[in-house]
Amino acid sequence: MFATLSDRLTATFRSLRGKGRLSEADVDATIREIRRALLDADVAVPVVRQFTGAIRERALGAEVSQALNPGQQVVKIVNEELIAVLGGETRRLQFAKNPPTVVLLAGLQGAGKTTLAGKLARWLREQGHTPLLVACDLQRPNAVTQLKVVGERAGVPVFAPHPGAQGEADDTADPVPVARAGVEFAREKQHDIVIVDTAGRLGVDEVLMKQAADIRDATRPDEILFVLDAMIGQDAVTTAQAFQEGVGFTGVVLTKLDGDARGGAALSVRGVTGKPVMFASTGEKLEDFEPFHPDRMASRILDMGDILTLIEQAEKAFDAEQAEKMAAKLAADEDFTLEDFLAQMSALKNMGSMKSLLKMLPGMGEIRQQLENFDERELDRVEAIVQSMTPLERRQPRILNGSRRARIARGSGTQVSDVNQLVERFGEAQKMMRAMRRGGNIPGMPPGMAGLPGLGGGKKGRGKSAPPPRKGKAKSGNPAKRAQQEREAAARREGGPAAPAPKGGAFGLGGARQGPDPADLQLPPGFDKFLK
């Protein structure tokens, strides 16, 4: 969503690189480009004014003028101010002292409240809670049925005593008794969290506000989350203000962050309403849901990556026991096999889309076009090739002859050339793993890198790219000594005795001692011993 804004900001900061001092004109030009980028991203004008004003004030102060790298200091200031605009700190759910905790979802129709209810319930269940979904959207056709399906997929029970509208919209059903009964049901069945899904409308009207306010008064929710479609642009500000005045809310949930809209809603709603963004929906699947971290989102916008989120996803996907077995295998000097490769690929696929994972790495904005052209099905083809092998072939790829490779290609629905490429790339990966395990150089790494801390090197496990040890005695840099070494080497080749080295001075001058005889000098008694 923030691709365009990220590209604009990155290009603006690129012009500041290499400048040892920033003039006021440089700062004004940078602020002007940032303002244009934010306005093009549909960020609210008051938020843009406050944001650029804070950056200009800090950029013209001693904070930048005394910095060793002013360009990087400006980027740091923009990052900090962007975090402040997005909320500053991560806002957590406030749980009731006496369960159940009631969470009321409100928003416009089409914002994705029902699907988000299932995502939130699934996320809370993974955190160890026992949530209950309450179907209070009785006006939209089949809304109750949709919530039941979402709840079943999320593994969360749904309280739905009223069937709701079936064929066409029904404005006569009253959701207030259903909401009140749902809270009592949760208290009886000891559910610690109740998520109430309310109805939405195509626009902000008095009926919607009155109904949402009545549900609020009947359930006394601990959290009221305003579900906001991040793709509606400037209308997000108007909608958020209307809900704030009519119902009130404690936090915002942004949906459809995986879309291609400009993303100004995410940057505007916090500055306009003063309420924090608490969660973000980043896809259509139930697992595409995460807490909103302002610092991480700011890093993504500035193309600095989101390593912490990547680590958290890896911790969920990778099995700790399997990781320990892999570490023990490497410590025992055992080779990395295709079976290990298949297990690692399966864990990687559990983390989500490869494109989304790569976008969390710093600097990936520069190759965004290549990432968009990446075919996710390539991983499926590789997995099919490995699964078409026998267990022995996975452990010992060197036995893969022509007939075996043809059989594997037929079994996986690929070409023999695809199998050959996979085996060749895997062979290179095995070499790299051996080099890293033995403390040598990784193939292709400059030889001088081997001596760096943590990269091994030394006498043991010398890598292939390391220079071979010298044989024989090294030649001296002294011209006289080198001449003597050459005469000795020539004498050895001819089989004769080596010529004695001429006695000379420290600089290789042969012949007799140069200078006066020490016996002719008038030296203090006992000083002559220092000349022997």
> For residues 23 and 300, what is the distance between their CA atoms, to the nearest angstrom?
28
> For residues 393 and 157, what is the distance between their CA atoms, to the nearest angstrom?
46
What residues have CB less than 8 Å from 119, skipping those under 6 apart? 154, 281, 286, 287, 288, 289
Q: Token digits for 187? A: 């208290």
> For residues 144 and 135, what is the distance between their CA atoms, to the nearest angstrom?
6
Please give the C-alpha separations between residue 459 and each of 50, 439, 471, in angstroms, as whole numbers: 60, 10, 15
Task: Write down how long the chain is.
Answer: 532
Please give the single-letter amino acid code of residue 365: G
Query: Of 135, 132, 152, 154, which Cα lies nearest the Cα of 144?
Result: 135
Query: Of 240, 224, 436, which Cα lies nearest the Cα of 331?
Result: 436
Tokens 């940057």 found at: 267
> For residues 226 and 221, what is the distance between their CA atoms, to the nearest angstrom?
13
Angle at 256 between CA 106 and CA 37, to 5 degrees: 110
Which residue positions form the known binding site? 107-114, 197-201, 255-258
Long-range contacts, 459-462 (Cβ 8 Å, 24+): 461/435
> 475: helix, coil or strand?
coil
H or E segment and range at residue 333: none
Phi, psi (degrees; rounded to nearest 5) at 522: -90, 90
| Eight-class DSSP state of 302 | T
Which residue positions form the known binding site for GTP? 107-114, 197-201, 255-258
Phi, psi (degrees; rounded to nearest 5) at 255: -110, 165
> For residues 427 and 422, what is the distance between their CA atoms, to the nearest angstrom?
9
Please give the single-letter amino acid code of residue 430: Q
